[in-house]
Amino acid sequence: MSLQKEDVVKIAHLARLAIDEADIPGYARNLSSILRLIEEMDVVDTEAVTPMAHPLDMVQRLRDDVVSEENRRECFQKIAPQVENGLYLVPQVIE
Amino acid sequence: MYHHKTIAELSRGLAAGEYTSEQLTRHFLQRIEVHGTALNCFITVTADEALTQAREADQRRARGEAGPLTGIPMVHKDIFCTDGVKTSCGSKMLDNFIAPYDATVVRKLKEAGMPLLGKANMDEFAMGSSNETSFYGPVKNPWNTGTVPGGSSGGSAAIVAARLAPLATGTDTGGSIRQPAALCGVTGLKPTYGRVSRYGMIAFASSLDQGGPMTGNAEDAAWVLNVMAGFDVRDSTSVEREVPDYRSGLERPLDGLRIGLPQEYFGEGLNIEVAKVIEVAIEQYKQLGAEVIEISLPNSKRSVPTYYVVAPAECSSNLSRFDGVRFGYRCEEPKDLEDLYKRSRGEGFGSEVKRRIMIGTYALSAGYYDAYYLKAQKMRHLISDDFKQAFESVDVIMGPTAPDVAFELGAKSDDPVSMYLSDIYTIAANLAGLPGMSIPAGFVNDLPVGLQIIGNYFDEARLLNVAHQYQQTTDWHTRTPDAFM
């Protein structure tokens, strides 16, 4: 699989990454070579193999639905880029 | 001098009152001041906190409440959240991030009374095998400052190798403890997936990440793992299983130990001189009573391609939290919300991190999921089954940790695929979730070579025993680079 310039632009958009126009050919080249490496998997027949999502056979632990964390809003908002009245600020979304 | 002593020796010296934690901590802080900048191995040095914690450790000892690690100073990889201390993960994205809580590993070592000397440099978000992707610049290998220390825990490895601390923590997603341990000549242990809590350890690939100790020898690693390991309700993949005393089995003789040598780990791509060092180490194990059995891990040669689907897919998901809204870097003057996301991420992440996010995004995108992600998960099953079969006839698996010794700074930075192949022998253990170690086994061109030991699930005690017995009859782990004597 070889990625073209427009593929890189599309993937960068899906990943919400701004990349410089000048860097696009470099990304296309590097990402294509990584995909060629990845495609070495294709020589192995995996038709009958079940996928493995996780290294250990585990089940999700459950717990009682009780409050376990204290409210640390002020502490967490101190490290935010922009807050006002306890809210995180972002550029206006609705005109 | 203090910096040539093991953790076990320091512990005995502190208990006997030969020196105080404050004296030890001042000594290591002074070494960091002399050598730290040249090696670029620290992102943050926490001198004031370290001395306060050292004095507390001394008071605790005076009250008769000291544990085995109380008063011994250490370093955390900058991927572990440290309450009130900058936690950058090697990235511009988190250059302004003061963690609001302690990782479980940090809390445990703090409760054990270990003063924190600082936070170690690392590849950005642990993505790299040379420490060159760090926003703070590359770490230098103490054995030859023109070469890389390996990565991603390169700062931690360099710190232990240069004797700037007797312990540094690391994390290992595809070899990030073992490969730098090999390239810097230190002992590094990646425990079984789920053995050490991941809470507060900034996530890269959640089904692979695992924290562990990097130390001067296996006995020290056992002392530290005793504290690091254990169930944590805050980590949903933490395993509820008792932690043995890892020190208790160290002296077990190796008579009858069955060592598996995978033929795939000794083929094309391995530096022939490195291969010779490993063969000598295996001979040493035979002298110690071990039996060597040829094995095959036929799917292991597909572990790098498999990993470069699984890890980027998980990273693209994990790193979506960095959006410029709640913490971390935010771009200047965003014109709308999409611009805020895109430029904060585009400017905050370095190029290797962006590459991996894009590969993961692509592999998970509509129309490509089956061909990449599902295929990789199936490959993961095959790779894991190879190990299951091998461990029916052997106790441990051995081979080289890395295909070569440390390479020159800049040698592979323009070629991601050639960089990825540095982890060709380490990645399979992560995909399977198995524990692995690297211990120093010799030198090629005056650069250290690491012997890798892979064990069965939760068999860390066996790995530490096997490493410790080797270190009782060899002195590779005691070597120190001339400039850091």
Q: Answer whether A34 sits within 8 Å of B376, measured CB to CB.
A: no
Is residue B71 predicted with pLDDT exceeding 90? Answer: yes
B39-B42-B47 Cα angle (round to 5): 120
CB contacts under 8 A, A 55-74 vs B, are 55-56, 58, 60-61, 63, 72
More confident call, B154 vs A1: B154
For B380, which DSSP code? H
From chain A, pick out residues whose CB is under 8 angstroms from the CB of B237: 54, 56, 58
pLDDT over threshold 90, residue A60: no
Nearest chain B CA: its distance from A26 CA (Å): 10
The answer to the question of residue A89 being in a domain is no
In angstroms, the Cα distances linking B446 to A44, B53, B393, B457, B474 are 40, 38, 36, 35, 17
Label residue B94 left, alpha or beta by phi (over 0 means left) and psi (-120 to 50 means alpha).
alpha
pLDDT tens for B357-410 read: 999 999 999 899 999 999 999 999 999 999 999 999 999 999 999 999 999 999
CA of A21 vs chain B CAs: smallest distance (Å): 12
Query: Helix B303-318 crosses helix B351-364 at what angle (to 10 degrees)?
Result: 100
Average pLDDT over residues B289-293: 98
Q: pLDDT for B305-350, tens place per residue?
A: 999 999 999 999 999 999 999 999 999 999 999 999 999 999 999 9
- The CA distance from B177 to B183, in Å, is 10
Find the domain containing A19 and state its range: 5-43
The CATH number that applies at residue A13 is 1.10.20
Answer yes or no: is A15 within a domain. Answer: yes
The answer to whether the beta carbons of residues B245 and B226 sit under 8 Å apart is yes
Q: Active-site residue among B91, B152, B303, B422?
A: B152
User: SS3 for A51?
Assistant: coil
Give me the residue from B237, B346, B384 closest to A58, CB to CB.
Answer: B237
pLDDT at site A61:
86
Residue B152 known to be catalytic: yes
What's the pLDDT tens digit per position in B233-274? 999 999 999 999 999 999 999 999 999 999 999 998 999 999
Q: What is the mean pLDDT of chain B?
A: 97
Q: Which residues of B touch A36 (CB under 8 A)?
A: 417
Catalytic residue among B11, B176, B238, B344: B176
* pLDDT tens per residue, range B131-185: 999 999 999 999 999 999 999 999 999 999 999 999 999 999 999 999 999 999 9
* B309/A contact by beta carbon, under 8 A: yes
Q: Which residues of B touch A11 (CB under 8 A)?
A: 358, 361-362, 365
Q: Residue B176 catalytic?
A: yes
- Residue A48 lies inside a defined structural domain of this protein: no
Confidence label for A39 from pLDDT (cuts 50, 70 and 90): very high
Half-sphere exposure for B250 (CA within 13 Å, toward CB): 18
Quote the tokens at residue B415: 């070629």
**A55 contacts on B by Cβ (under 8 Å):** 193-194, 207-208, 384, 431-434
Domains of chain B (ranges plus CATH)? Answer: 2-257+393-484 (3.90.1300.10)
In chain A, residues with a C-beta closer than 8 Å to the C-beta of B335 are 91
pLDDT tops 90 at residue A95: no
Please tell me whether residue B454 adopts helix, strand or coil conformation.
strand
Q: How far B425 CA sits from the closest chain A CA (Å)?
A: 16
Average pLDDT over residues B406-435: 95
Q: Return the DSSP state at B243.
A: P
Q: Is B207 a catalytic residue?
A: no
Say if A19 falls within a structural domain.
yes
Q: Is residue A18 part of a domain?
A: yes
- The domain tally of chain A equals 1
- Please judge whether B194 and A56 are an interchain contact, meaning their C-beta atoms are less than 8 angstroms apart: yes
The per-residue pLDDT for A55 is: 87
